[in-house]
Structure 1
């Protein structure tokens, strides 16, 4: 049995056979108050991950024959809790793998159930779902004083924390608050885009806690920032900058990670609850796909009373534990806590830091040490080496040491330290070190990874515009205890790397038969400029695939996009192809991988971003009601290289039945046979899934006029891959019968071509918007695959908005 949107509610169903796809993945428990969205998240995760959804509250009602309130009234509260405990115990025993179990809001009121969940959490994620207090109060129709209601909710939140190992903050999106925009709501009034954002974020969260990477459920080839040479992390100070959910993506352009820097002292001064940090981290994580670093710092500008110090210590370590429960990608701990200070005794600090590191799950620990008031000879002293030894003893994954430079020569001293320290340390811990201040900028060029940078200066956020950068928010004050504000941006760092001859200028190409009008150079060159990369992208039009060898051997070759008709032949010109290319049988991207030494001979890797682009468009536009199940089908039009990628994308999404139509039926049958003999295919690392499927070739689109073929439903996804023009440049006259838009819940129609931008089929698809159909032109696909290609070839997250605006302006200018 595979995942289902319909929850199991009967005890007799617990023993049903699980799908082999999820038989060995740990079950997940969700608990929380009413109104936080547990059931909605469970439905979405069940559909996306093929997990069995078990609603334990309904199971209890089904077993007792009464709702909770009715049973308590007829019998007693203690008897209900005892019955509930036995049912939960049995459910947890029988559902150890491949299930999402949703518990009732009141289950933690029974001590035995709490102990049961604590024990279950030793081997399984037990996740507390929380949200804004106002949403819960509205849901339960609370009519008392708002402040009192919030306090009651927060008290209940703390009650849940005694039996969980993870926290998920289920944000209310700004999209869901906008009542004026009805176009994004389905027939029940639910905002589809808001649900899609929640689904994407929650699946990313689950992937991280299960597999240690937020992208394990996708086919994206994304390296962790500490493995990316000269990566950087943009610093966002909290609580100075807090109202910027929509603008995080713009402020973090060019960054490989986001570092949320929390000033714990100021947090207490403002009287802000620690939950405000949880919510802020959740907003940042939902607003950007890059990893999040949570850094906790504190200023002791004036001596504190013993009571205030104790309070500060409790809040600081509570926030560290909260960071682990939130499953942040990185948690920065202050190594100074392991030394005696007015804040804490060194022995106690070492013990607490060691406990944090030992229970960090998949969160990586950064041991930070800011050498305040250190002498010029700091880097040549024994202190940095001792700090590295301390970090290694504590089990840190990364150590980060910084010092404000007083002399320019300290930049070379830190390079000497990095060289010697790296040779001494084990390979399991990355050592990063740099100077701060105006005289220390050069050292950041040589820092190996996760260099702190300030937000993009061009950010339109009024607060940042007034301050020029978030780094200047802290100017004039003592730096935070464990981190100093950066004075360079991600773009500044890239420009400096090239000026220092660290990053060479690379040349990228798009190669094909008729690509003179390709928009790839326009997008890629604009992206290079925004990020400060010195590279160049250009078209290479040819009729001979052998010319690819000349490009590969040319000086500074960085990579190449492959267009028709060379997507199959180009496989012979690379050193290695991905599993995706082997399955699809075609590539569209060549990556020149050089590793840490960018000037070493490149190893040529063959990849395919077409399928990632198609997958992205479908995921972004399909409504939750059309989540892929065994009954859902899709339709692919065409049998060329793009149709190959489309079929593979749809298989990866879980479609078991896919129609395929091509005007030359023989080509369609060959393509269907290529995939059908591979069934089933396994996808995913965090949630490995065996996808069984069948590609069914249609001889005539007009044959199914009144009902879909036996055993099928009408498709909810249609991918149009037939070229809009023939070899002579004449428009192709292709019609798709209206019957193929008969899905009762609508669906997604997308085109992979953009010449013409609006084909006759696309125009027809748009007329079915009232039936729930979303029609996406070829620009959406072009943009989506270009983003994936850019990241594979440069290792940097593409400035998506810039590339999208360029495409839109280009086509508007041509109309």
Structure 2
């Protein structure tokens, strides 16, 4: 059964735009259900209903939409189906998707009320319109598996990610919907299980990771989340701490979900990190609140199982929002837990009765979580929790029986030795349950040491003193940079030396960018240039004891393949390695496991195209691209375009035989590569005549992408490059496109000048600084094995570039 993503929502929520963008980015067929009906009727639904009954309309709607969907199912085509707003009234149609197809991807699209009312040209008072919309939302949410908040998108989001050439670039009107496109596609990729990070494994295993805690609701923190990329820099996840009681005081579960969805949209827009959904209240506190509220309204006894069901439904918000992790309190399943102020918590009595009703509810919840990973949590009031054969061990046994793969166990430290007990507990559990990713630490001022020693998602806090000039009152707080520095000073995590090496590497800007980033985040690493004219210099670098990795420049990119114990399939296909990374044993960092070789150029090309190609051009099914030059970056660009399923890739080099050889090589590569339906792109070499006269091969359109990979200084002499004049006819695509430069040796080539002049025609010029910026971020992730703080690295790159006597 192919994937069927179904979008529902009120008119004006943006589901049609999102559906179109998602279908093009994911290569899914787009089924516009509303158009199915209107094209058959040759009139609007309101006009049809003037002379027909509602039942007649719904029957026709059902037949036409189901027919369109069944046609794609027969072809085994993945699809995005956009249902009209009125479809919420058509129960047979909804039953078809919910029961007959049983699609797990029925998504309710929500948008700011002001934007919806503006689209509807609503003329009544805003509050009245807002109330009408809110009354409609529960009907859509009731049929949907997921909720997506369609946050307002504007070009400024992309402008903040871009490096602007002063006086050359002004506005990006064609990218007005780009932020929404990137957000929504990433959301769908998570739900459907599409692997996004093909270059590195940013898992939480075998390294020390941190999760920054964000309390909600909290006015101070909500303000600075508008610059979330700054706040979360250096962290591996966002731990969203929800004050359930505060939210329940202000509204229903639907209202709570709406508030959280808006917050999540804001975090996702600013921070590309996995989000953990966590309740900061204890089960006892939530139960007592609900019991008091219930007793004020009714004389009936508040049923404990009703509370448990409510709690699991509350956690279900995380699944519906497509969050990466949700924290489930396993004290739900403990015998002896008392939900009263007089009761005590018994940390050692974990139920072994698998038929227990509560255990059944929990197992059912686990089955319904989709791609959201359940993190079991347990906080003990007993200081003996870390002792063998006591509470912590039994909780881990129970988690293992449930099939939970992540756990967080905490207790309050009463003594500094409790931290060592916690550390011993972690080591013991890693041996007993290697498949469970365990977070364990003590709370309180005396527990800070255990947080440093903890390996997985150590909780860190926003530096309120730095970001908001608010004094930190809690003695329990610790910030991310403190954790990183402490790990180094305690000799737990060693400092690594990274390098950029090759001819003329001494002028490279990357060392300064990386070094400033390491210092800002408290990372104990160094980054320097190592200029060498022979391959023996690279060999000497690798033998150094603290060698962590290297960025490889010409002329060593091909020879570097031989220094890697293993290379990525992408690097082998391209034929070049531009990044070497050491893999060391995490418990014995002096032990070198292997050296891995990567090519990051193709990743950088993919990233820039995904973020800068307008949604209009993204939606073109048979896109054409033009590559100028035959260097390593040009080869990587061809490979990236093949992976992005471009229909035609035109290659031009001053030597036709070179271009023809590259084209033949990549066409043959597609023939012999297994999987990924790889034979989809025609790589065509251009002669000098066809290039200069803009002669398109049969079946080719004018390119939406032009990449110049030849404007690089000579690696042996350092002489500046000679730019190739690109005939303006190659810029004739009616909807514009992206012109990308891959070097900063000639910052503004004639190609970029042409693109800047055609901004009003939809063309965007990406200078070499954008390329270097994305390259720096990608290699940071490979070297450090942490998400790159992209906003910081962009800032540092601009500073370094301008200090090098150059100007933007």
- Is the shorter-chain TM-score for this pair beyond 0.5, marking a shared fold? yes
- Residue equivalent to 2:348: none
In the TM superposition, 1:369-408 aligns within 5 A as 369-372=378-381, 374-375=382-383, 379=387, 382-408=390-416
- Residue equivalent to 2:248: 268
Looking at structure 1, the residues matched to 509 and 363 of structure 2 have their Cα atoms a distance apart, in angstroms, of 52
Looking at structure 2, the residues matched to 697 and 377 of structure 1 have their Cα atoms a distance apart, in angstroms, of 68
Q: In the alignment, is residue 452 of structure 1 matched against residue 459 of structure 2?
A: yes
- Residue equivalent to 1:19: none
Segment of structure 1 superposing worse, 803-812 or 643-652: 803-812
TM-score by length of 2: 0.88
Q: Is the 8 A contact 2:581 2:596 kept in 1?
A: yes
Looking at structure 2, the residues matched to 457 and 644 of structure 1 have their Cα atoms a distance apart, in angstroms, of 47
Looking at structure 2, the residues matched to 807 and 557 of structure 1 have their Cα atoms a distance apart, in angstroms, of 24
In the TM superposition, 1:544-555 aligns within 5 A as 544-555=534-545
Structure 2: segments with no counterpart, 5+ residues: 166-170, 295-301, 344-350
Q: How big is the shift at 1:129?
A: 1.3
Q: How big is the shift at 1:582?
A: 1.5
Q: Is the 8 A contact 1:175 1:191 kept in 2?
A: yes
Looking at structure 2, the residues matched to 710 and 564 of structure 1 have their Cα atoms a distance apart, in angstroms, of 36
Q: In the alignment, is residue 341 of structure 1 matched against residue 331 of structure 2?
A: no
Segment of structure 1 superposing worse, 531-540 or 782-791: 531-540
Distance of aligned partners of 1:134 and 1:577 in 2 relative to their CA distance in 1, 3 Å threshold: same
In the TM superposition, 1:149-188 aligns within 5 A as 149-173=129-153
Which one of 7, 12, 15 corresponds to residue 30 of structure 1? 7
Which one of 792, 800, 805 corresponds to residue 790 of structure 2? 800
Which one of 637, 646, 661 corresponds to residue 646 of structure 1? 637
> Secondary structure of the equivalent of 2:239?
strand
Q: In the alignment, is residue 105 of structure 1 matched against residue 72 of structure 2?
A: no
Which one of 238, 247, 253 corresponds to residue 227 of structure 2? 247
Q: In the alignment, is residue 199 of structure 1 matched against residue 178 of structure 2?
A: no
Q: Is the 8 A contact 1:126 1:166 kept in 2?
A: yes
Distance of aligned partners of 1:157 and 1:51 in 2 relative to their CA distance in 1, 3 Å threshold: same
Looking at structure 1, the residues matched to 285 and 320 of structure 2 have their Cα atoms a distance apart, in angstroms, of 30
Q: How big is the shift at 1:360?
A: 0.8
Distance of aligned partners of 1:703 and 1:520 in 2 relative to their CA distance in 1, 3 Å threshold: closer
Q: How big is the shift at 1:448?
A: 2.5
- Residue equivalent to 1:306: 291
- Residue equivalent to 2:568: 578
Looking at structure 2, the residues matched to 358 and 65 of structure 1 have their Cα atoms a distance apart, in angstroms, of 45
Q: How big is the shift at 1:410?
A: 0.5
Distance of aligned partners of 1:411 and 1:782 in 2 relative to their CA distance in 1, 3 Å threshold: same
Looking at structure 1, the residues matched to 573 and 386 of structure 2 have their Cα atoms a distance apart, in angstroms, of 55
> Secondary structure of the equivalent of 2:186?
helix
Q: In the alignment, is residue 357 of structure 1 matched against residue 375 of structure 2?
A: no
The structure richer in helix per residue is 2
Instruction: Spell out, residue by residue over 1:719-778, the C-alpha distance to the aligned partner (whole angstroms, 9 max, x if none).
Output: 111134443625525322222222222211111111132334433432222322211211
Structure 1: segments with no counterpart, 5+ residues: 1-23, 477-485
- Residue equivalent to 1:489: 479
TM-score by length of 1: 0.87
Q: In the alignment, is residue 416 of structure 1 matched against residue 395 of structure 2?
A: no
Looking at structure 1, the residues matched to 101 and 242 of structure 2 have their Cα atoms a distance apart, in angstroms, of 29
Which one of 766, 782, 803 corresponds to residue 776 of structure 1? 766
Q: How big is the shift at 1:654?
A: 2.2
Which one of 728, 731, 734 corresponds to residue 744 of structure 1? 734
Looking at structure 2, the residues matched to 541 and 219 of structure 1 have their Cα atoms a distance apart, in angstroms, of 30
Looking at structure 1, the residues matched to 41 and 228 of structure 2 have their Cα atoms a distance apart, in angstroms, of 49
> Secondary structure of the equivalent of 1:207?
helix
Q: Is the 8 A contact 1:313 1:343 kept in 2?
A: no
Q: How big is the shift at 1:548?
A: 2.3
- Residue equivalent to 2:447: 440
Looking at structure 2, the residues matched to 305 and 643 of structure 1 have their Cα atoms a distance apart, in angstroms, of 63
Q: How big is the shift at 1:128?
A: 1.6
Q: Is the 8 A contact 1:117 1:164 kept in 2?
A: no
Looking at structure 2, the residues matched to 157 and 228 of structure 1 have their Cα atoms a distance apart, in angstroms, of 43
- Residue equivalent to 1:16: none
Distance of aligned partners of 1:155 and 1:316 in 2 relative to their CA distance in 1, 3 Å threshold: farther
Looking at structure 2, the residues matched to 781 and 706 of structure 1 have their Cα atoms a distance apart, in angstroms, of 27
Distance of aligned partners of 1:429 and 1:376 in 2 relative to their CA distance in 1, 3 Å threshold: closer
RMSD between superposed Cα atoms in Å: 3.0
Q: How big is the shift at 1:154?
A: 2.6
Distance of aligned partners of 1:377 and 1:801 in 2 relative to their CA distance in 1, 3 Å threshold: closer
Instruction: Spell out, residue by residue over 1:21-45, the C-alpha distance to the aligned partner (whole angstroms, 9 max, x if none).
Output: xxx7512111111111111111111
> Secondary structure of the equivalent of 2:278?
strand
Q: Is the 8 A contact 2:452 2:483 kept in 1?
A: yes
Q: How big is the shift at 1:802?
A: 2.4
Segment of structure 1 superposing worse, 755-764 or 635-644: 755-764
Looking at structure 1, the residues matched to 701 and 68 of structure 2 have their Cα atoms a distance apart, in angstroms, of 34
Distance of aligned partners of 1:190 and 1:64 in 2 relative to their CA distance in 1, 3 Å threshold: farther
> Secondary structure of the equivalent of 1:600?
strand
Q: How big is the shift at 1:52?
A: 0.8
Q: In the alignment, is residue 329 of structure 1 matched against residue 308 of structure 2?
A: no
Q: Is the 8 A contact 1:633 1:656 kept in 2?
A: yes
- Residue equivalent to 1:238: 216
Distance of aligned partners of 1:395 and 1:154 in 2 relative to their CA distance in 1, 3 Å threshold: farther
- Residue equivalent to 2:346: none
Q: Is the 8 A contact 2:234 2:787 kept in 1?
A: yes
> Secondary structure of the equivalent of 1:546?
helix
Q: Is the 8 A contact 1:330 1:365 kept in 2?
A: yes
Aligned residues: 759
Q: How big is the shift at 1:379?
A: 4.2
Looking at structure 1, the residues matched to 654 and 463 of structure 2 have their Cα atoms a distance apart, in angstroms, of 50
Looking at structure 1, the residues matched to 800 and 720 of structure 2 have their Cα atoms a distance apart, in angstroms, of 22
Instruction: Spell out, residue by residue over 1:623-648, the C-alpha distance to the aligned partner (whole angstroms, 9 max, x if none).
Output: 11211634431111110111111111
Distance of aligned partners of 1:696 and 1:169 in 2 relative to their CA distance in 1, 3 Å threshold: same
> Secondary structure of the equivalent of 2:50?
helix
Distance of aligned partners of 1:635 and 1:703 in 2 relative to their CA distance in 1, 3 Å threshold: closer
Distance of aligned partners of 1:711 and 1:93 in 2 relative to their CA distance in 1, 3 Å threshold: closer
Looking at structure 1, the residues matched to 385 and 645 of structure 2 have their Cα atoms a distance apart, in angstroms, of 60
- Residue equivalent to 1:11: none
Segment of structure 1 superposing worse, 414-423 or 581-590: 414-423
Segment of structure 1 superposing worse, 648-657 or 759-768: 759-768
Which one of 263, 287, 290 corresponds to residue 273 of structure 2? 290
- Residue equivalent to 1:5: none
Which one of 711, 724, 745 corresponds to residue 699 of structure 2? 711
- Residue equivalent to 1:319: 314
- Residue equivalent to 2:683: 695
Segment of structure 1 superposing worse, 431-440 or 316-325: 316-325
Instruction: Spell out, residue by residue over 1:683-726, the C-alpha distance to the aligned partner (whole angstroms, 9 max, x if none).
Output: 99xxx554511222222267554764443222221111113444
